[in-house]
Amino acid sequence: QIDSARLWGDIHETAKFGATPKGGVKRLTLGAEDKQVRDWFRAACEAAGCEVRVDALGTMFAIRPGRDMSKPPIGIGSHLDTQPTGGKYDGILGTLAALEVVRALNDAGIETDIPVCVCNWTNEEGSRYAPAMMASAAYAGDYTTDDILGRKDADGITVADALDTIGYRGADAVGKQKFSAFVELHIEQGPLLEAENKTIGVVDRGQGIIWYDGTISGFASHAGTTPMPLRKDALAAFSEVVLAVEKIARDHGPNAVGTIGEIKIDNPSRNVIPGDLAFTVDIRSSESNILDGLHSAIQAAVAEIAARRKVSIDVQQIWRKEPTVFNTTLVDAVEAATKEMGYSHRRITSGAGHDACNLAGVVPAAMIFVPCKDGISHNELEDATQTDCTAGANVLLHTVLALAGV
Amino acid sequence: QIDSARLWGDIHETAKFGATPKGGVKRLTLGAEDKQVRDWFRAACEAAGCEVRVDALGTMFAIRPGRDMSKPPIGIGSHLDTQPTGGKYDGILGTLAALEVVRALNDAGIETDIPVCVCNWTNEEGSRYAPAMMASAAYAGDYTTDDILGRKDADGITVADALDTIGYRGADAVGKQKFSAFVELHIEQGPLLEAENKTIGVVDRGQGIIWYDGTISGFASHAGTTPMPLRKDALAAFSEVVLAVEKIARDHGPNAVGTIGEIKIDNPSRNVIPGDLAFTVDIRSSESNILDGLHSAIQAAVAEIAARRKVSIDVQQIWRKEPTVFNTTLVDAVEAATKEMGYSHRRITSGAGHDACNLAGVVPAAMIFVPCKDGISHNELEDATQTDCTAGANVLLHTVLALAGV
Ligand SMILES: NC(=O)NCCC(=O)O
Ligand SMILES: NC(=O)NCCC(=O)O
């Protein structure tokens, strides 16, 4: 069993790096607070006897040796970056529980056959740089390292510059660190486990995701002198796009969601009709064909709005992640560990994207979910109980024991 | 007659202070570029023999003495600040034409009975600080100087700090400089004069304006895991508000407009359903009772949207400027000067707010409009012809001659 108090202490100790007044965490990837938590994490992994390696995209790999060093390690872990309105658990639980697994093995004097590698993946959240799960996508071969290094945040700072600024541009090539398998513990971020009173979600699928960057060009003009019928108001057109995306997602039923999270008017002013603006779109479903349906319906709606309002609207797909089907052998291993510990559980589909979804493309991967309060995540009020977090960490420990060989 | 080439040269010379790549001007009030144009203007006024005084809100008064210094001067002028996507004429024409009137009087060796005062009013545009026509509103007694000095821009910089930074917090109390009358030349910023092929608009009325600051509080949550029916999406609610304001303005007929120019999501992220946001609303009509109708309809629509979507929406009125009726004697004087010069003309209502609308509350005031291309303003493409600008300046000169007594 893992040390529940130690895990809980670590979660609350690291929450000070980027703590917000409302009790959450704002720790954007590769920022000053991310450096602080990375330094803490490196020291803690080294104190637990691991060698810490960093790859060219800043992902951290802390390796606990096994008897057979010719076998690639069992990868465990998640991410330590957060949303701008993030909580204390999203990613953090999975990373610190992985560290706790290593400590528990140490405490019990257990040497595994296969090494164990605790991971902290760079930019899982996708808030500062797109796409989300950026480093694990590069790891899985979806992007070249150079492509990712050149991506810019809203202030024009590249990933390369941000890595250099915090000193986390590592020497290892992306993908150099191989795994025999990868298992990620995470809070559910949705309402199902809590509603059904289950402790563990055995994750067998993950939703597919498409991200878009959109722009609208109308015509900036005077709010007082431009008659209503003569306007080409980019914001009014945008408002129709928002409501169309919402309606289209609803019309596609419970296995579809659609969200517009960002909107920025160029040179906004109270008394200027918005002329140009930019926005983002996020659509998801666990079925590829529903994603296709959402995609076509949104493109058609946007074309209709643009034509009727005589503005130009451009909606560019910048990322498509197909739905994930996790490795059945590994999913069964998680379920067996859960049963061994006697926790209530159910199979579940992940609504969020995770690094494990990218890893699943190149190694056997699986995930463990624990409930979070009211299903709330990406909100400073995100919460989870010590009991559930401990249960999740124990399932992770026992899955590792089964996979790594004692 | 004024010197057309000199006026045109000045308009294009000062356009370099804040020039944009698209041929417009971005010279937000009390910023570095505003200091540049103020310094230029002060030097030009002094070179024309004026004494330049600055009041506590940075408004500049350049006085050309008259025979009878016991009489308050005839005030002429406008403003040199611009919108973020501003043009080369809005405010600038009226200020530089007023300077040109003084020079033309000098060139002709004319001494007027009553002095003439060329004005550059601080923050007419209202983009950096609300309300628009800020300094002239304080001049007219609508706000105390201290209230205005404490107002903050989006970065939290107060008017007082901004004035100190550029060295334009003057010694004179606001309102100290009295006027016998005030006349402002401006581009129309609307399409009527051009459409009817008239050179001069004799402005007899100005629209009333209400500004609101709005906020919406929904609930920030995960874009991937939050089912559509459980969302409290502040941006979707906002989108309905935008379309409601647009529809309400349209439904109130040609004498009503409504605009949302700004929207800012708190801590936006692609994969977070917007939780909290802030926005602005601008509504106008030349009839007070139509303004009332717009106001009530918007409040009702907002309440309905908030209740249905289970979000809270707050729309606070921060400014109400009643419709302006300009002084008939002064309007007649403008019309007489126009006829004397032989320019085609019509009576017209101003769609935009102007410093003269505030001045009209405390001294006899009037305005002169000239056409602008396609009625476009608050856009970098704003344009006007040298011929029309010259005509407007000549009407200003002859109105001054009639009012100031030769
Ligand atoms: N787990 C998680 O919230 N990941 C962020 C990427 C996404 O799903 O939007
Ligand atoms: N003239 C002008 O554009 N003034 C700005 C204030 C307004 O919005 O009407």
At B293 the pLDDT is: 98
- Beta carbon of B352 within 6 Å of any ligand 2 atom: yes
Do A222 and B125 count as a contact with CB atoms less than 8 A apart? no
CA distances from B21 to A255, A268, B15, B25, B90 (A): 47, 17, 12, 9, 18
pLDDT digits 0-9 by tens, B133-176: 999 999 999 999 999 999 999 999 999 999 999 999 999 999 99
Give chain A's count of helices (H) and strands (E): 12, 16
Q: Whose CA is nearest to atom 5 of ligand 1?
A: A125
Closest ligand to Cα B81? 2
At B259, list the tokens: 């605009």
- Beta carbon of A225 within 6 Å of any ligand 2 atom: no
pLDDT digits 0-9 by tens, B173-204: 999 999 999 999 999 999 999 999 999 999 99
Nearest atom of ligand 1 to the alpha carbon of A186? 1
Q: Torsion-angle region of residue A126: left (phi > 0), alpha (psi -120 to 50) or beta? A: left
Chain mean pLDDT for chain B: 98
Q: Ligand 1 pocket check: which of B221, B222, B270 to mutate, most ligand atoms within 8 Å of Cβ?
A: B222
At B14, list the tokens: 């000062």
Q: Torsion-angle region of residue A371: left (phi > 0), alpha (psi -120 to 50) or beta? A: beta
Ligand 1 centre to CA of B269 (Å) is: 11
At A240 the pLDDT is: 99
Residue B229: which pLDDT band, with cuts at 50, 70 and 90? Answer: very high
- Residues ≥6 apart with Cβ < 8 Å to A160: A149, A150, A169
Residue B346: which pLDDT band, with cuts at 50, 70 and 90? Answer: very high
Mean pLDDT of B368-395: 97
Q: Ligand 1 pocket check: which of A321, A354, A359 to mutate, most ligand atoms within 8 Å of Cβ?
A: A354
Ligand 2 centre to CA of B354 (Å) is: 6
Q: Whose CA is nearest to atom 3 of ligand 1?
A: A352
Closest ligand to Cα A136? 1
Question: Cis bond leading into B131, ω under 30°?
Answer: yes
How many angstroms separate the CA atoms of A335 and A119, rounded? 22
Find out whether A3 and A107 touch, Cβ atoms under 8 Å.
yes
Question: Cis bond leading into A229, ω under 30°?
Answer: no
Ligand 2 centre to CA of B16 (Å) is: 21
Q: Give chain B positions within 8 Å (CB) of A249.
A: 228
Start-to-end CA span in chain B (Å): 15
How many angstroms separate the CA atoms of B348 and B201, rounded? 6
Q: Give chain A positions within 8 Å (CB) of B256.
A: 228
Query: Is residue A295 annotated as involved in ligand binding?
Result: no
- Beta carbon of B382 within 6 Å of any ligand 2 atom: no
Q: Give chain B positions within 8 Å (CB) of A266.
A: 85
Query: Is residue A354 annotated as involved in ligand binding?
Result: no
Share of chain B above pLDDT 90, in %: 100
Write phi, then psi, for B336 (nearest 5 degrees). -65, -45
Do B260 and A190 count as a contact with CB atoms less than 8 A apart? no
Mean pLDDT of B118-136: 98
Q: Whose CA is nearest to atom 5 of ligand 2?
A: B125
Do B378 and A265 count as a contact with CB atoms less than 8 A apart? no
- Beta carbon of B126 within 6 Å of any ligand 2 atom: yes
How many cross-chain Cβ pairs, A to B, lie less than 8 Å apart? 246
Residue B98: Cβ-neighbour burial (10 angstroms; 0-12, 13-18, 19+)? buried
- Beta carbon of B354 within 6 Å of any ligand 2 atom: yes
pLDDT digits 0-9 by tens, B24-55: 999 999 999 999 999 999 999 999 999 999 99
Count, residues in chain B = 406
At A376, list the tokens: 């709330």
How many angstroms separate the CA atoms of B346 and B331, rounded? 12
A132 vs B257, B271, B284: nearest CB: B271
At B385 the pLDDT is: 98
Do A259 and B377 count as a contact with CB atoms less than 8 A apart? no
Query: Is residue B295 annotated as involved in ligand binding?
Result: no
Closest ligand to Cα B283? 2
Find out whether B224 and A284 touch, Cβ atoms under 8 Å.
yes
CA distances from B333 to A364, B72, B181, B325, B368 (A): 87, 18, 11, 15, 11
- The two beta strands, B324-325 and B200-206, are antiparallel
The SS3 assignment for A305 reads helix
Nearest atom of ligand 2 to the alpha carbon of A271? 8
Give the residue from B219, B271, B377 with the most A CB atoms within 10 Å of its CB, the best one to mutate.
Answer: B271
Residue with tokens 């399409």: B191
At B109 the pLDDT is: 97
A353 vs B224, B261, B269: nearest CB: B224
Do A261 and B274 count as a contact with CB atoms less than 8 A apart? yes
Query: Is residue B125 annotated as involved in ligand binding?
Result: yes
Residue with tokens 């009991």: A387
Q: Give chain B positions within 8 Å (CB) of A125.
A: 269, 271
Ligand 1 centre to CA of A83 (Å) is: 9
Greatest pairwise CA separation for chain A in angstroms: 79
How many angstroms separate the CA atoms of B76 and B383, rounded? 22
How many angstroms separate the CA atoms of B392 and B94, rounded? 9
CA closest to A257 among chain B residues: B228
Q: Tell me how close the Cα of A277 comes to any Cα of chain B, in angstroms.
A: 11
Q: Tell me how close the Cα of A185 comes to any Cα of chain B, in angstroms.
A: 16
Give the residue from A153, A207, A225, A266 with the most B CB atoms within 10 Å of its CB, the best one to mutate.
Answer: A225
- Beta carbon of B206 within 6 Å of any ligand 2 atom: no
Q: Give chain B positions within 8 Å (CB) of A274.
A: 260-261
Give the residue from B378, B380, B382 with the most A CB atoms within 10 Å of its CB, the best one to mutate.
Answer: B378
- Beta carbon of B334 within 6 Å of any ligand 2 atom: no
Long-range Cβ contact pairs of B328-333 (< 8 A, separation 24 or more):
B328/B204, B329/B364, B330/B181, B330/B183, B330/B364, B330/B365, B330/B366, B330/B403, B331/B202, B331/B203, B331/B204, B331/B366, B333/B366, B333/B399, B333/B402, B333/B403
Q: Give chain B positions within 8 Å (CB) of A26.
A: 267
- Beta carbon of B132 within 6 Å of any ligand 2 atom: yes
B261 vs A126, A223, A250: nearest CB: A223
At A138 the pLDDT is: 98
Other beta carbons less than 10 A from residue B49's beta carbon? 14
State whether the Cα torsion B216-B219-B221-B227 is positive or negative.
negative
Following DSSP, what letter does each residue of B209-272 receive, concatenated? EEEEEEEEE-B-EETTTS-GGG-B-HHHHHHHHHHHHHHHHHHT-TT-EEE---EEESS--TTE
User: If residue A318 lies in a helix (H) or strand (E), which one and from where to where?
Assistant: strand A312-321
Averages of pLDDT over runs of 10 residues in chain A (406 residues) are 97 98 97 98 98 98 96 98 97 98 98 98 98 98 98 97 98 98 98 96 98 98 96 98 98 98 97 98 98 98 98 98 98 98 98 98 98 96 98 98 95
Ligand 1 is surrounded, with C-beta below 6 A, by A 90, 124-126, 132, 189, 352-354; B 222-224, 271
Do B261 and A238 count as a contact with CB atoms less than 8 A apart? no
Query: Is residue B113 annotated as involved in ligand binding?
Result: no
Greatest pairwise CA separation for chain B in angstroms: 79
Do A246 and B228 count as a contact with CB atoms less than 8 A apart? yes
Do A127 and B238 count as a contact with CB atoms less than 8 A apart? no
Do B223 and A284 count as a contact with CB atoms less than 8 A apart? yes
